[in-house]
Every structure is written in C-alpha cells, then in structure tokens.
Amino acid sequence: MMSDLCLAYHDNTKNPASERSNQEFVRWRLEQDAMDRQRRLNAAKERTMQNNLHQYSPREQNGFLQQRNQEEVDHRAAESQRQEAERQKRTLIRQRQEEKRREQAERGRRRREESERRQKELADDLKRQKEAELAEEEVRKNKRNNSTTGGETKGKQKDLADIKKRKPKERDLNTPDSYIPPSSRSEAISKPIRNQQPSQLSHWSESSSVFPVKQEGHKKRLEISTET
C-alpha cells in the first residue's frame, strides 16, 4: 500500500500546482486507503457471516443483517459528507484563487496608472523646463539687443552733443569762397582754383611767381606763391 501511495505521490509531483496540493493529495489517498480497508473488513465479515449463518438462530441472523445495513448506511453518509467537504474545499480554493487574481489585476492596474502618471509628470516637467530655458534665452537675447541699441544711441547722442557744443567758425565775408588755407597751398598748385571761371583766369602769367586773383564784390586779393 505504501509503495502505491509513494508512486502516486511521485506521479503527482511531476507537475504539482503547489506543495499544498501535494499534501491534500496525500491526505485524500490515506483516507481512500482507510475506506478500502474498512470495505475489505466488512466484506470479510459478510463472508464469515454467510458461511456461519446456519449456526445462528433466525433472530441472530436478523440482527447481523440489520447491523450490516446500518454500517452500509453510515458508510454512505460518511462518503457523502466527505464529498460535500471536498466540494466546499474546492469551492473555497477557487474563490481564493479568484480573489488572488483580482488582487493581482488590481495591483497591475495601479502600477500601470502610477507609471503613466509618473511618465506624464516627467514629460510635463521636461516641457516646463524647456519653456523656462527658451524664456530665459529670449530674455538674455533681448538684454543683449537692448544693450547694443542703447550703446549706439548713447554714442549718437554724445556725438550730437559734441557737435552742438562745438562753436561754428566765424566766416569772414571778405574772404572769397575759393580761399585755400596755407597748409593746402601746395595741393592747390596742381588743382584749379575753386569757384573760378576760365574767363577769370585769363590774366595768369607763367613767368610770374605771384598771380593775382581779383573777384568782384571782394576787397582782398589772394596771392598764392608757387614756391613751397
């Protein structure tokens, strides 16, 4: 019997669902063995009674038959109770397994929601950081532009102020427009005199080192020396 039980246990452990299922299988197999022994004992008693029934009186024979029937009734009741207990146990196991599956599904759903929420928060943080960087860059760019424009404006204003502060030179009405300062007399040799018409230069003398320039409306005479 034990060899059969060990073999059955070994066969059941090839693909066991859990250690608990193995223990339940062993308990069930022991119960089956106990019931088989009881059936064999009852069968032996029945054979003994049938063989020795002629030795007993009809009253004793009737008592034996009633006892046998009661034992069969008790056995059937015990078997039905055992089956009901097994059914309830299987139902409870199914309910627990279903609860575990629901809990696992709920935990998985919560983990997914938490992961999605974290990813969304991370994306929002990155977006806000990018927007802040762009705004900061725009502010720096505006500052650079304002500083450059302000410098140019200040320079222009300074130049205008200098020009306004600078006093204009008093113009001598007796000085002709063609007056050339002494520092530029050497350059004036090779250039025609400004604001002079060819008719006014007719009195030019090549042999003379000094040539007069007479203009109407002026009292001064411009004398330009050819010697530098």
What's the pLDDT tens digit per position in 126-167? 999 999 999 899 888 888 887 766 555 555 666 666 666 665
Residue 6 lies in a domain: no
Residue 102 lies in a domain: yes
Residue 146 lies in a domain: no
What is the model's pLDDT at position 205? 45
User: Cα separation of 193 and 179, whole Å?
Assistant: 9
Residue 199 lies in a domain: no
- The DSSP H or E segment spanning 217 is none
Residue 134 lies in a domain: no
Query: 193: Cβ–Cβ under 8 A, 6 or more apart, which residues?
Result: 178, 180, 201, 213
Query: 38: Cβ–Cβ under 8 A, 6 or more apart, which residues?
Result: 75
Q: Which amino acid is at 8?
A: A
What is the model's pLDDT at position 109? 93
Contacts 24+ apart (CB under 8 A), 86-89: 86/28
What is the model's pLDDT at position 20? 64
Residue 175 lies in a domain: no
What is the model's pLDDT at position 44? 84
User: Cα separation of 68 and 70, whole Å?
Assistant: 5
Residue 171 lies in a domain: no
User: Cα separation of 87 and 81, whole Å?
Assistant: 10
pLDDT 10s digits, 18-63: 666 777 888 888 888 888 888 888 788 778 777 777 777 778 778 8
DSSP result, 118-160: HHHHHHHHHHHHHHHHHHHHHHHHHHHHHHHHHHHHHHHHHHH
pLDDT 10s digits, 178-221: 555 555 555 555 555 555 555 554 454 444 444 455 455 444 45
What is the model's pLDDT at position 189? 54
User: Cα separation of 53 and 46, whole Å?
Assistant: 10
Confirm whether pTM is higher than 0.85: no
Residue 66 lies in a domain: yes
**Domain span at 71:** 17-127
What is the model's pLDDT at position 24? 80
User: How many structural domains comprise the chain?
Assistant: 1
